[in-house]
């Protein structure tokens, strides 16, 4: 069964060769998910009968799109009409959206078998998938460790062979970091390339939906389907979508790769640094030229992000009041007491921390000192990248400074937890496309991720470079033991 779910093409061949209905295949898949997920807990919920009905609907429709029958996990913050969608938070208990996200519509139009409820950090607030109200997801490579976050459920579901592909959202690294820690491929598109309509917002100027898959070719295929202009999203960019699957390549001749010194200093685990150094050599052997570049404002990225993102989260989460939908406190009292009790019981500790941080930085007397200054630093970070791309086609860095850490190891140390995203945050601040691909095991045998970033709307460059690396190495073929 492992080979069947290792690629979109492999799954299609299996589906074509089997007897029985698509609904039968769906039941087979959900039974498999249930058996694996007892240990991994990649999903907050699985509604097997609803999935089987969806499969029957696809079969009756008679139209076989590019992803017909392919099981795709959907992160719990992406709306599907009538499907329970909670952002892994008690405050959205029982919420079933009256509409579907643009990406859900696009996948459905191509016949994908959507499997919702992939677990995540509450409202995407986290780097470890431990803040979910459903409990933590576990890394398939070592179930005592985190899978990364916030799209930890999506990455774990792909890595464990429960689904062929998944959608996640990336605000500061939430697709790329769990992809790296679970040994799979994760792609954050350019801000505006994929519609955010139907994505429950964390930080609206940073959030972006993207795919997680076993290989670069599948990542390109999913990205090709979900990209494109949407007039329901005011930040969606009206540009033609390239045929990303035509950018796949086995060579990198003529490509110039920038190596930023700021990303290769103290704090990187020895095993991570070794794998990245080896990856740089692979690119050189494939004909790519490497140049040293500087991104001097990178050192301010984490501080900048943790002012801007919580400020936007504070504004976005103000709508969860216990009145319109979701959890409502049963206690007596007036309207203010209802708000307070509902939010206190419905939101987790990390959500409360970020709301408080964001509200503080937006408050009178502090807006100019914190939020406005952070936005100016964000512009400087984007300027650094614009200057760097004059000298190179893409930039190579580690995805994460370490491999997956133990569950509970950093939960009481938010500052150390926040530094898990130190290499991924700058791409979000600058609105850049970025991909993480497996580049071998670290010193502890756990996966290490290689990150590539390119100028806005240059996703083809990343697909070409990542594909060439993948086709000339064996790292993407490694699987967790027993899966």
Q: What is the CATH number of the domain that holds 187?
A: 3.90.1300.10
What was the pLDDT predicted at 130?
A: 97
Q: Which residue range is the domain that position 458 belongs to?
A: 1-483
In the numeric block, the tokens 């990856």 are attached to 279
**Residue 303 catalytic?**
no
DSSP per residue, 297-338: GGGGHHHHHHHHHHHHHHHHGGG--SSSSS------S-HHHH
- Write the DSSP symbol of residue 247: -
- Residues whose CB is less than 8 angstroms from the CB of residue 34 and which lie 6 or more positions away in sequence, other chains included: 46, 48
Which one is catalytic: 132, 154, 160, 174? 174
What are the backbone angles phi and psi of residue 139, rounded to the nearest 5°?
Answer: -75, 125
Q: Which helix (H) or strand (E) holds 38?
A: helix 22-40
**Which residue is catalytic, options 150, 247, 249, 420?**
150
* Global confidence as pTM: 0.97
- 174 an active-site residue? yes
**pLDDT on residue 1:** 45
Q: Which residue has the tokens 């970070």?
A: 381
pLDDT beneath 50: ranges in the chain: 1-2
Which of 75, 195, 342, 361 is catalytic? The answer is: 75
- Centre a 10 Å sphere on the Cβ of residue 262 and count the other Cβ atoms it contains: 17
Quote the pLDDT of residue 19: 87
d(CA 264, CA 398): 8
Q: Which residues of 151-189 are buried (b: 16+ CB within 10 A; e: fewer)?
A: bbbbbbbbbbbbbbbbbbbbbbbbbbbbbbbbbbbbbbb
Is 274 labeled as catalytic in the residue annotation?
no
Count of structural domains, the chain:
1
């Amino acid at each position: 069964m492992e080979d069947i779910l290792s690629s979109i093409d492999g799954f299609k061949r299996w589906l074509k060769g089997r007897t029985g209905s698509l609904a039968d295949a769906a039941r087979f898949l959900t039974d498999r998910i249930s058996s694996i997920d007892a240990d991994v807990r990649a999903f907050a919920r699985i509604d097997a009968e609803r999935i089987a009905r969806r499969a029957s609907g696809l079969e009756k429709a008679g139209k076989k799109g590019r992803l017909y029958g392919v099981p795709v996990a959907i992160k719990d913050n992406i709306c599907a009409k009538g499907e329970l969608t909670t952002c892994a938070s008690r405050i959205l208990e029982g919420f079933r959206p009256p509409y579907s996200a643009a990406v859900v519509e696009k996948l459905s139009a191509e016949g994908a078998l959507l499997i919702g409820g992939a677990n995540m950090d509450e409202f995407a607030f986290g780097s470890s998938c431990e803040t979910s109200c459903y409990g933590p997801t576990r890394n398939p490579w070592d179930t005592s460790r985190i899978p990364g976050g916030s799209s930890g459920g999506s990455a774990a579901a792909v890595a464990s062979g429960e689904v062929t592909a998944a959608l996640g959202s990336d605000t500061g690294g939430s697709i790329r970091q769990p992809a790296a820690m679970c040994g799979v491929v994760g792609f954050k598109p350019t801000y505006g390339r994929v519609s955010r309509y139907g994505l429950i917002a964390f930080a609206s100027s940073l959030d972006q939906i993207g795919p997680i898959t076993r290989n670069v070719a599948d990542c390109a295929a999913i990205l090709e389907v979900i990209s494109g202009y949407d007039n329901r999203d005011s930040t969606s960019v009206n540009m033609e979508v390239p045929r990303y699957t035509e950018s796949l390549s086995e060579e990198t001749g003529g490509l110039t790769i920038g190596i930023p010194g700021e990303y290769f200093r103290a704090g990187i685990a020895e095993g991570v640094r070794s794998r990245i150094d080896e990856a740089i050599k692979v690119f050189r052997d494939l004909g790519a030229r490497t140049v040293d570049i500087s991104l001097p404002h990178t050192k301010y990225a984490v501080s900048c992000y943790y002012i801007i993102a919580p400020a936007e989260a504070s504004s976005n989460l103000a709508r969860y009041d216990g009145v319109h939908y979701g959890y409502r406190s049963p206690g007596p009292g007036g309207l203010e007491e209802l708000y307070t009790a509902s939010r206190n019981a419905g939101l987790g500790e990390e959500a409360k921390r970020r709301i408080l941080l964001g509200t503080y930085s937006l408050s009178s007397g502090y807006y100019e000192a914190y939020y406005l200054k952070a936005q100016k630093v964000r512009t400087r970070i984007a300027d650094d990248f614009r200057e760097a791309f004059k000298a190179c086609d893409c930039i190579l860095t580690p995805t994460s400074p370490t491999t997956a850490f133990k569950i509970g190891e950093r939960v009481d140390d938010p500052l150390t937890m926040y530094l898990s995203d130190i290499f991924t945050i700058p791409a979000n601040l600058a609105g850049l496309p970025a991909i993480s691909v497996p580049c071998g095991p670290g010193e502890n045998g756990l996966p290490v991720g290689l990150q590539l970033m390119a100028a806005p709307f240059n996703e083809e460059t990343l697909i070409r470079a990542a594909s060439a690396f993948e086709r000339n190495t064996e790292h993407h073929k490694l699987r967790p033991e027993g899966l």
